[in-house]
Amino acid sequence: MKIIITGATGMVGEGVLFECLENPKVNEVLIIGRRTYELSHSKLKELIVKDFSEIKKHSDLLEKYDGCFFCAGISSVGENEESFTRKTYDFVVPFAASLSEIKPEMTFIYVSGSGTDSSEKGKIMWARVKGRTENALMKLPFKGQYNFRPAVMTGSKGQKNIKFIFKILIPLLSPFFSAPTLKLSEVGKAMINAVLKGYSKQILEAKDIKELSK
């Protein structure tokens, strides 16, 4: 299969990228981003765009792909609801909508997070915005659309874009977390399997992601 990944310069996207490059079920990976990811690999291609709204200009290229793993995103720290909406909902949904027009047979996977609020009415701002984003994505005419809600994740060997807390503290504290701790390789495997065989739910919590990764 051929896979598109966004957010390869972040922790989740980089970990998913590593799995895709190692996985024999994937024969090509296209990174879409605003800056170059410094890695050379026979499976890897790159599309640099100034703005994600530009992707319709590249429809001839993008229609060749079977899945998109949207791992790009920002922290809500220091953001109000208006700015977080602009950088989350307004960033993800138009991109996905354009992709669904280019190739509706594609599977689109969005990484949101544990605690996302599907009702869009809760007290936690980021959870409302991500819930609104998930709900909009589920209405798009993709062959498959899944929203991954991982909780605690650990990185893969060789990752550059991983913070100290995830590299050192999380592995030590993971036995005390209620949700399963996921390796980013497991997240990547689950995404690949979602493209290959689908899943019974569109919203996958950590335990679902672990199950689908097997």
> Is 57 a residue whose pLDDT tops 50?
yes
What is the structure's pLDDT at 212?
Answer: 98
Residues with Cβ within 8 Å of residue 76, at least 6 apart in sequence = 84, 125, 126, 129
Provide the mean pLDDT of the chain. 91
CA distances from 11 to 18, 44, 145, 158, 183 (A): 11, 18, 22, 11, 12
Record the tokens describing residue 111, joined without a space.
């990484």
What is the structure's pLDDT at 154?
Answer: 84
**Farthest-apart Cα atoms in the chain, separation:** 48
Q: Tens digit of pLDDT for each residue in 71-121?
A: 999 989 999 999 999 999 999 999 999 999 999 999 999 999 999 999 999
Structural domains present in the chain: 2-212 (3.40.50.720)
Q: What is the DSSP string of 41-96?
A: -TTEEEEE-SSGGGGGGGHHHHTT-SEEEE------TT--HHHHHHHTHHHHHHHH
Evaluate the CA torsion angle 101, 11, 206, 79 in order and state its sign.
negative
Residue 46 bridge partners (DSSP): 31
What is the structure's pLDDT at 14?
Answer: 95
What is the structure's pLDDT at 162?
Answer: 65
Q: Tens digit of pLDDT for each residue in 132-175?
A: 999 999 999 999 999 999 988 887 777 676 654 454 444 444 45
Record the tokens describing residue 25, joined without a space.
């079920």
Evaluate the CA torsion angle 89, 95, 96, 100 in order and state its sign.
positive
pLDDT band at 185 (very low <50, low <70, confident <90, very high): very high
What is the structure's pLDDT at 160?
Answer: 72
Record the tokens describing residue 157, joined without a space.
């060997």
